[in-house]
A = this chain, B = another copy of it.
Amino acid sequence: MAQIFEHTIKVLFQHCDPAGIVFYPRYFEMVNQTVEEWHEVGLKHSFSQMHLDSGYGVPTVSIGAEFTAPSKMGDVLSWSLIVTKLGRTSAHLHIEARCRDELRMTATPVLVSVHMETGRPVPWSDEIRHRMQQYLAPSE
């Protein structure tokens, strides 16, 4: 059974637009934060370690998103993350945000492991790959 990475983010004043709801680029900041927390807590390999020490990064090369219901200031969003496909140098994620069981948004980013100086893809280390596999959903 795949593990699900979960954390929460509260919707703040600064996330909201003149319509009083989350401005959608802010959702992508939350998606990025979710991926960042997953690296630190779930994969035990923080972004700062990765970027500053190891010299590699995990840029997002594509993303799809659906905004199914608006979120308001003060809403506490429950984020969940699973891996849907794990390649040699890439990882496909499925991320959801819910508030009181209502689905608010889904995002499907594809990350690629790259060497920071060359920008070239590099295979996941065995350690990272092993940890990512724990979040890999069984394909139907």
Which residues in A have some Cβ–Cβ distance to B below 8 Å? 12-14, 16-21, 23-26, 28-29, 32-33, 36, 40, 46-48, 51-52, 57, 59-67, 70, 72-74, 116, 119
Cα distance A62–B18 in the bound complex, in angstroms: 19
Q: Across the interface, do A51 and B73 meet the contact criterion of CB distance under 8 Å?
A: yes
Contacts of A17 in B (CB 8 A): 13-14, 16-18
Cα distance A130–B99 in the bound complex, in angstroms: 33
What is the minimal beta-carbon distance from A124 to any residue of chain B, in angstroms? 18
Q: What are 10 contact pairs spanning A and B, CB under 8 A?
A: A12-B33, A14-B17, A19-B59, A24-B28, A24-B32, A52-B72, A61-B66, A61-B67, A64-B64, A70-B119
Q: Across the interface, do A63 and B24 meet the contact criterion of CB distance under 8 Å?
A: yes
What is the minimal beta-carbon distance from A74 to any residue of chain B, in angstroms? 4
Cα distance A18–B59 in the bound complex, in angstroms: 12
What is the minimal beta-carbon distance from A15 to any residue of chain B, in angstroms? 10
Partner of A62, one of B52, B62, B67, B116: B67
